[in-house]
Amino acid sequence: MSQTLGALIADAQEAYATAAVTYQGATIDQKVKSKPALDKAASQLVALQAKQLDEAKEVDAEDEAAMKQLRQQVNNAATLQTGLMTLVAVLTKFI
């Protein structure tokens, strides 16, 4: 069963919000390493939302599963950088 792009965006927004909270509690070293990816994820999320307005796209169950796994990763500051890079990679597929 395929999911709409809107469902992926909702999951991405949740993952980004979780990442932002994790980022706030991270060490300064983690923040320095994670800030570029956090900013890139934010800009890609905005671009994806704008693209959704222009055209309807469908995502598959694999994309949805990747986003759910990502949400779990960004809960842990140690995996924040990896989680952000994964978020950016998933969103790039649709921009």
pLDDT tens track for 24-58? 988 899 889 889 988 988 998 898 888 776 665 56
pLDDT value at 2 more than 50? no
Kindly provide the b/e burial profile for residues 21-52, where b requires at least 16 CB atoms within 10 angstroms of the residue's own CB.
Answer: ebbeebeeebeeebeebbebbbebbeebeeeb
**Percent of the chain's residues with pLDDT above 90:** 6
Instruction: Kindly report the average pLDDT of the chain as a whole number.
Output: 78
Residue 33, both tokens: 């390493």
pTM: 0.61
User: Residue ranges per domain, the chain?
Assistant: 3-92
Using 50, 70 and 90 to split pLDDT, how confident is the model at 67? confident
Question: For residue 94, what is the DSSP state?
Answer: T
Q: Do 14 and 32 form a contact (C-beta atoms < 8 A)? A: no
SS3 content of the chain, % helix, strand, coil (to 5): 80, 5, 15
